[in-house]
Structure 1
Amino acid sequence: MSVDHLVDIGITELYYEYIGGCNNSPTIVFESGYGWSLDNWQPIIEKISDFANVFMYDRDGIGKSGCSNRPKHSLQIVENQRTLLKKANIKPPYILVGHSFGGVNVRLFASNYPEEVIGVILLDSVHEDQNKKMVPLFTKEVQQRYLGQFTVEASLKEFEESLEQVRETNLGNIPLIVLTGGTQPHHTQESMDLWMEFQKELTELSTRSKHIVVEKAGHAIHMDSPDDVIDAIREMIAT
């Protein structure tokens, strides 16, 4: 069963796609990176839908969704997503998969609503200290590109508000898999070393976690090495 809809969540309409039919499986809920529509998950969706139910959506202001005048920070994003899941009748339990900025959002979701989440997978996830500590280690050119990107959905101010909103989150004993891309040429050696430290710190969010470095993948692990992400989702379902 495949469904795609625009749903009115009260402040705007959000677009989602759902592939179901795996009755004994939880729903895998995907949360995209900053500014990315749900289409970015296409390299892995077909294979995952063979063994799990799949839910993807476009955030407020992205892709086929509408654009509200509400803040685009993580606290609002999580409430939007949860309202959408309820209105679409996509019931928990969920396994949350968050890429980059999406990692912040799924952390906040799982921390605020742990009874609805049975697993979290972070794909090269944003870390709350990256703007303060890592960005100054980039080359000037990369710093400018990085800081200049915040025009698509959240502003730089809202993005940094999201980093603070997630700072005190804890996943308790919710199973957690952290995947990190090992080949990221936009980094300097110093910034990449710190990025790896950040990724290891993310595993400390849960008492049941593991860290996997995908050596040949860059920031978009699900595009560069889809089988590694599919394997992680299989492992999480088994857990």
Structure 2
Amino acid sequence: MAISTVGQKVNIEGNELYYEYIEGSTNNITIVFESGYGWDLNNWNPIRNDVSKFANLFFYDRDGVGRSGKSNKPKHSIQIIKNLRNLLKKADIKPPYFLVGHSFGGVNVRLYASKYPEEVAGIILLDSVHEDQNKIMVPLFSEKVRKEYLGQFVVEATLNEFEESLEQVRGAKLGSVPLLVITGGTQSYHTTQSMAQWMEFQKELANLSSKSNHLIIKKAGHAIHIDDPKAVINAIKEMRAKL
């Protein structure tokens, strides 16, 4: 079928949020992409064309990011998934959704799936944030990396709002929703100890669903879909075929 793309802004509670929808399949499942902290939807460019050949895709910019406006509302995960759900409804993108969340986006898709499991067909977590990372892993960074990490929260959520999101997702279960956790195996900014802890966190994430798998992409870093797009495209295609 011919692939068609729709991109537009929609008013969500007084703020304009930008989204792009690509209809690439007659299947009723839409893949919804949640970006990492501060990243606009263009970060998915390395995989979007190939994935659009076999699926319907939904990308958007969160409040305060990219082509979306910036509101005075909180930038934590509860507000984010409220915005996303309203945006999907206004764009007339009906469930079920196959959620793909990178880094901080992983927290948001977990929270969405735990609150609206009937709307979610499957989840992929790409090197996803874990709720205990600031307490346990960040102290294991070198002093330089720790300062850089803690100083990054100026784009959308503040550090306090980011940590609120970590608490909001704590205890959120995924039941039997099909889950794939993908982890980058080469992350140079880590110490040996912090990387070992990151891998432990990734294993814990893979235990959130009774139907889960954990895939480690050895030569990819934190941005797996940019470092090894083919691996991510193949993972999405395989999982999508099973849903």
Taking structure 1 as the reference length, the TM-score comes to 0.99
State the 1:26 CA deviation: 1.1
Query: 2:229 matched to 1:226?
Result: yes
Q: Which moved more, 1:80-89 or 1:24-33?
A: 24-33
Aligned to 1:79: 82
C-alpha deviations, 1:2-32, integer Å up to 9, x for none? 1000000123010000100411251000000
Aligned to 2:204: 201
Give the alignment's Cα RMSD to 1 decimal: 0.6
C-alpha deviations, 1:55-80, integer Å up to 9, x for none? 00000000000000000000000000
State the 1:230 CA deviation: 0.8
Query: 2:191 matched to 1:174?
Result: no
Q: Any conservation in 2 of the 1:25–1:51 contact (CA below 8 Å)?
A: no
Runs (4 or more) in structure 1 with deviation over 6 Å come to none
Structure 2 CA distance for aligned equivalents of residues 128 and 139 of structure 1: 20
Give the secondary-structure state (helix, strand or coil) at the position aligned to 1:5: strand
Which residue type is aligned with residue 27 of structure 2? N
Q: Any conservation in 1 of the 2:28–2:96 contact (CA below 8 Å)?
A: no
Identity %: 67
Q: Any conservation in 1 of the 2:101–2:109 contact (CA below 8 Å)?
A: yes
Aligned to 1:29: 32
Structure 1 CA distance for aligned equivalents of residues 119 and 207 of structure 2: 21
Give the secondary-structure state (helix, strand or coil) at the position aligned to 1:205: coil
Structure 1 CA distance for aligned equivalents of residues 14 and 82 of structure 2: 11
Specify every segment of 5 or more residues in structure 2 that has no aligned partner in the other structure, as ranges.
none
Which of 100, 103, 108 is the matching residue for 1:100?
103
Which residue type is aligned with residue 168 of structure 2? Q
C-alpha deviations, 1:67-108, integer Å up to 9, x for none? 000000000000000000000001111000000000000000
Q: Any conservation in 2 of the 1:25–1:52 contact (CA below 8 Å)?
A: no
Taking structure 2 as the reference length, the TM-score comes to 0.97
Structure 2 CA distance for aligned equivalents of residues 125 and 10 of structure 1: 28
Give the secondary-structure state (helix, strand or coil) at the position aligned to 1:160: helix
Structure 1 CA distance for aligned equivalents of residues 204 and 212 of structure 2: 11
Give the secondary-structure state (helix, strand or coil) at the position aligned to 1:132: helix
Number of paired residues? Answer: 239
Structure 2 CA distance for aligned equivalents of residues 163 and 11 of structure 1: 26
Aligned to 2:47: 44
Give the secondary-structure state (helix, strand or coil) at the position aligned to 2:31: strand
State the 1:228 CA deviation: 1.1
Give the secondary-structure state (helix, strand or coil) at the position aligned to 2:207: helix
Structure 1 CA distance for aligned equivalents of residues 204 and 226 of structure 2: 24
Structure 2 CA distance for aligned equivalents of residues 94 and 110 of structure 1: 9
Q: How does 1:1-239 map to 2 (within 5 A)?
A: 1-239=4-242
Structure 2 CA distance for aligned equivalents of residues 89 and 208 of structure 1: 29
